[in-house]
């Protein structure tokens, strides 16, 4: 019987060695200055009873990129089961909807535990998006040798086209298909992920960070009013597609004890001209620096990456590794022929970074968040979880992004600076 190193809940890696190696190579030299607002920097000062913030410089001439992401939604929730292909054990880890970044560590913990039960010396991971890369690192921390087989390296995957915010139950499942047993599993993944992300706080480049987020309105806030669903048109069972946002599962109340609450601000206490303002705090991820840390740990621990594209499931049986963690994201719809996957389109515009701005904003169905690699702006259409559902187009729509940027620009009319 082969022995297996126990898998820790949150096993730290040797950051001194990691940072020393990276700095010697110049890898983190540029990251240390890219975040602007350091981990200890307060989001806002208070002068004369009013918060003082720097305004976002939102204008279409500052757009540097427009990204489109297809989030892989499964009505039943993420696929985390195992199956046999000949003598190869395949553990699936895909279909997280809009919660891939948020649940990456927790779902990796579930998948790796199933892989470890087979006592392999080495495993293969298919896919190098955030789910694949995190699964690979978790497998290494459990004592396995890992090779990632992927069509694209991390920086070219769909993962880096997402908005990268903590949204652990966004399009994660439909209530009925997911069933009663999924809630506890979701909570396990969310709590494990939340704890894991904390080990990246305060590092150079701010791979994981927090910021205040302000929700502006011309009328008193009502819970979830911006996400009100459209009129129901049927049900999932009869149409094969959800027809109402109310069909989507919501589990955020399970982790209210660890996530920050939202507060209603006193009139005139913020620099915004909007009469009604609510403020909350949210965790988010800076793609470049966070991906750097994950990739650095993976490579320093002997990980290998092989560029390879698979066309049908049986090809996995040809790999030398006989335990495979399958993390293809939306590609599983075609490659694994998983017709349960539904695309959820999302588009973000990226403006020139503003190091002096360290907060987020939501107004008139448009959100903005200042990150180390740019001011990210995303438009919604008041459809809640139905937003982008079933849309598989990955072509950018510049008119949509320009209109969203204009909404944010107008939000700073009458902004009181200083």
Measure CA 102 to chain center.
5
Residue 318 has pLDDT above 50, yes or no: yes
Residue with more model confidence, 283 or 4? 283
pTM of the model: 0.86
Q: Of the candidates 199, 63, 189, 66, which has an alpha carbon nearest to the alpha carbon of residue 135?
A: 189
Residues of the chain above pLDDT 90, percent: 79
In a domain, 3, yes or no: no
Residue 398 has pLDDT above 60, yes or no: yes
Mean pLDDT score, 175-191: 96
pLDDT at 243: 74
In a domain, 106, yes or no: yes
In a domain, 24, yes or no: no
In a domain, 19, yes or no: no
Number of domains in the chain: 1
Mean pLDDT score, 179-204: 97
pLDDT at 418: 65
Give the chain's mean pLDDT: 87
In a domain, 38, yes or no: yes
Mean pLDDT score, 45-56: 75
Is 369 in a helix, a strand, or coil? Answer: strand
CA distances from 368 to 8, 216, 321, 364, 398 (A): 36, 12, 44, 11, 16
Asked if 261 contacts 194 with a C-beta cutoff of 8 angstroms, the reply is no
CA distance 152 to 161: 13
**Angle formed by the axes of helices 287-300 and 130-141, nearest 10°:** 40
pLDDT at 2: 37
In a domain, 12, yes or no: no
In a domain, 158, yes or no: yes
pLDDT at 47: 56
Mean pLDDT score, 353-359: 96
pLDDT at 240: 64
CATH number (domain holding residue 346): 3.40.50.720
Alpha helices by DSSP H, listed for 117-241, are: 130-141, 175-178, 182-198, 236-239
pLDDT at 382: 86
44-48, 87-91, 206-210, 353-357: which has the minimum mean pLDDT? 44-48
Measure the CA angle with vertex 101, ends 42 and 165; round to 5°.
Answer: 35
Asked if 77 contacts 103 with a C-beta cutoff of 8 angstroms, the reply is no
In a domain, 26, yes or no: no
Where residue 13 falls among pLDDT bands split at 50, 70, 90? very low
What is the span of the domain harbouring residue 228?
A: 32-411
Residue 121 has pLDDT above 70, yes or no: yes
pLDDT at 370: 97
1-15, 90-104, 286-300, 358-372: which has the minimum mean pLDDT? 1-15
Q: Of the candidates 81, 116, 111, which has an alpha carbon nearest to the alpha carbon of residue 6?
A: 116
pLDDT at 109: 98
Mean pLDDT score, 282-291: 96
Q: Which pair of tokens denotes residue 338?
A: 């998983």
């Amino acid at each position: 019987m082969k022995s297996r190193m126990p898998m820790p809940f949150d096993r730290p890696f040797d950051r001194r060695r990691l940072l020393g190696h990276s700095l010697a190579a110049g890898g983190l030299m540029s990251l240390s200055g890219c975040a602007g607002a350091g981990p200890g920097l307060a989001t806002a000062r208070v002068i004369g009873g009013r918060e003082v913030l720097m305004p976002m410089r939102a204008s279409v001439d500052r757009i540097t990129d427009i990204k489109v992401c297809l989030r892989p939604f499964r009505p039943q929730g993420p696929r985390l089961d195992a199956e046999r292909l000949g003598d190869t054990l395949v553990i699936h880890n895909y279909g997280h909807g809009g919660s891939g970044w948020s649940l990456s560590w927790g779902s990796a913990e579930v998948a790796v535990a199933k892989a470890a039960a087979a006592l392999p010396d080495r495993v293969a991971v298919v896919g190098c998006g955030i789910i694949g890369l995190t699964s690979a690192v978790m497998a290494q921390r459990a004592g396995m040798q890992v090779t990632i087989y992927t069509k694209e390296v991390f920086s070219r995957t769909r993962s880096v086209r997402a908005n990268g915010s903590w949204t652990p139950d966004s399009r994660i499942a439909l209530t009925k298909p997911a069933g009663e047993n999924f809630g506890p599993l979701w909570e396990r993944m969310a709590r494990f992920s939340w704890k894991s992300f904390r080990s990246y706080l305060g590092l150079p480049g701010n791979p994981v960070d927090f910021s205040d987020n302000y929700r502006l309105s011309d009328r008193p806030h009502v819970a979830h009013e911006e996400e009100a669903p459209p009129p129901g048109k049927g049900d999932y069972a009869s149409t094969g597609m959800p027809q109402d946002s109310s069909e989507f599962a919501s589990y955020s109340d399970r982790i209210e004890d660890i996530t920050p609450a939202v507060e209603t601000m006193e009139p005139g206490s913020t620099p915004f001209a909007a009469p009604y303002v609510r403020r909350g705090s949210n965790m988010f991820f800076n793609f470049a620096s966070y991906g750097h840390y994950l990739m650095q740990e993976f490579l320093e621990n002997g990980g290998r990456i092989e560029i390879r594209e698979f066309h049908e499931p049986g090809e996995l049986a040809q790999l030398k590794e006989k335990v495979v963690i399958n993390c293809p994201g939306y590609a599983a719809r075609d490659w694994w022929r998983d017709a349960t996957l539904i695309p959820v389109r999302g588009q973000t515009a990226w403006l020139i970074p503003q190091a002096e701005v360290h907060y987020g904003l939501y107004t008139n169905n448009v959100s903005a968040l200042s990150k180390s690699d740019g001011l990210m702006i995303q438009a919604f259409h008041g459809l809640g979880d139905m937003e982008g559902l079933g849309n598989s187009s990955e072509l950018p729509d510049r008119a949509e992004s320009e209109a969203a940027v204009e909404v944010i620009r107008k939000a700073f009319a009458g902004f009181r600076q200083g």
